[in-house]
């Protein structure tokens, strides 16, 4: 691609488009809350927990200069998010 800046934006846009579809999917059962079911909030809470773990890993890496943690940030947020589904389900499910 001749325009390097547009090339970078193009790549980021593709990734964001893909991620936005999955973020939307996480909210697909949220409307059930109006029918009295809070189970649709479970994936939203799981996603939020996973996002917080990822953000905390990023902060630790930046502020405390613990670079190796970034290599494990995605697995940590994935496993942490999945584990959080257990208490969320017993609470909201």
Q: Give the residue, chosen from 14, 37, 62, 66, that forms a contact with other proteins under the rule CB under 8 A.
A: 14
Listed in sequence order, the DSSP H helices in the chain are 4-26, 42-63, 69-92
Query: Binding to other proteins by residue 78, rule CB under 8 A?
Result: yes
Query: Binding to other proteins by residue 21, rule CB under 8 A?
Result: yes
Hey, what are 42's tokens?
A: 């479970």
Rank residues 14 and 64 by Cβ distance to other proteins and give the closer one: 14
The answer to whether 34 and 58 are in contact (CB under 8 A) is no
Rank residues 51 and 66 by Cβ distance to other proteins and give the closer one: 51
């Amino acid at each position: 691609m001749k325009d390097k800046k547009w090339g970078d934006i193009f790549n980021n846009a593709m990734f964001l488009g893909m991620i936005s579809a999955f973020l939307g999917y996480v909210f697909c059962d949220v409307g059930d809350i109006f029918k009295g079911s809070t189970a649709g909030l479970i994936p939203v809470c799981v996603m939020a927990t996973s996002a917080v773990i990822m953000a905390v890993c990023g902060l630790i890496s930046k502020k405390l200069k613990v670079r190796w943690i970034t290599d494990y940030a995605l697995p940590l947020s994935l496993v942490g998010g999945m584990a959080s589904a257990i208490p969320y389900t017993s609470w909201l499910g």
